[in-house]
Amino acid sequence: MIDGSLAKSVFAQYQIELSDGQLAQLDRYAELLAEWNQKMNLTAITDPEGILIKHFLDSILPFTMVPLAHGASLIDVGTGAGFPAIPLLIWRPDLRITLLDSLKKRLTFLEAVLAECGLPAQTIHSRAEDGGRQPALREQFDLATARAVANLRELSEYCLPYVKPGGMFYALKGGDAAAEIKGAEKAIHLLGGRLEKSPVYSLPDGSGRTLVCIKKISQTSTKYPRNAAKMAKSPLQ
């Protein structure tokens, strides 16, 4: 489905090295995404080049800008169709990945992708705010990621409870995230986080992106996360 030579050249632009085996895994992932998307709503991007750039490159590129320790544990909160976690796992198979989503049929799709591509990862069926209160998940991960799930203020409340003190939360945002970051500063502090940096970059089609890097510096109060209704009614500000 994906043009192998195009994929190699796109990743090479950003000094990202992928073996033929890894490119084959991404190709199979793309095929499954297109196939399953006919039965359920996984993505609006279905053309091969769009999947390559706006899903696969978009999932891997930001993590070339930050250190990822070998064997780090990572939870992808509200993973949806598996972005960024599954492309990231293909690129960095040493990572210990957990995929969390509230919709069981999406997890069924992800389990099919993992099986077809020979990838080890755990899947968890849970709402983000419920999972963040479970002792088996709370403050158990070196890293948390989320891509285009919610406003950064609420997203921090969903995700920081999963991160160990000393770990990192990486939020993948669009290019115009400055106001959103400013509006989330108090929430990040209340949740035990500290904004480290927010590099802005672009995809080959010119789409702007921001990687918001938040370090977990202290434990999150047991008051958080609240349920979605309380977050909407009384945002942290």
Residue 190: which CATH number? 3.40.50.150
Of residues 193 and 237, which shows the higher confidence score? 193
Structure tokens of 94?
Answer: 């040493």
Question: Is-contact 79 85, C-beta < 8 A?
Answer: yes
Structural domain includes residue 100: yes
What is the residue-averaged pLDDT of the chain?
96
Over 90: is that where the pLDDT of 148 sits?
no
| Contact in structure between 89 and 72 (CB atoms under 8 Å) | no
CA separation for the pair 86, 136 (Å, rounded): 22
pLDDT at 16 over 90: yes
- Please report whether residue 16 resides in a domain: no
The fraction of the chain above a pLDDT of 70, given in percent, is 100
The mean per-residue pLDDT over the stretch 135-143 comes to 98
Answer yes or no: is 11 within a domain: no
Single-letter amino acid, residue 99: L
Does a structural domain hold residue 43? Answer: no
Residue 4: pLDDT over 90: no
Q: Is residue 107 part of a domain?
A: yes
Q: Residue 206's pLDDT is what?
A: 93
Would you say residue 194 lies in a domain? Answer: yes
Q: Domain range holding 185?
A: 68-233
pLDDT above 90 (res 33): yes
Identify the bridge partners of residue 195 per DSSP, sorted by sequence position.
214
Q: How confident is the model at residue 237 (pLDDT cuts 50, 70, 90)?
A: confident
**Domains held by the chain: number:** 1
Give yes or no for a contact between 114 and 120, defined as CB atoms under 8 angstroms apart.
yes
Mind listing the pLDDT tens digit for each residue in 57-88?
999 999 999 999 999 999 999 999 999 999 99
- On whether the CB atoms of residues 22 and 6 are closer than 8 A, the answer is no
Beta bridge partners of residue 210, listed in sequence order? 173, 200
Q: What is the pTM of this model?
A: 0.96
Residue 95 pLDDT class (50, 70, 90 cuts): very high
On whether residue 10 sits in a domain, the answer given is no
User: Would you say residue 98 lies in a domain?
Assistant: yes
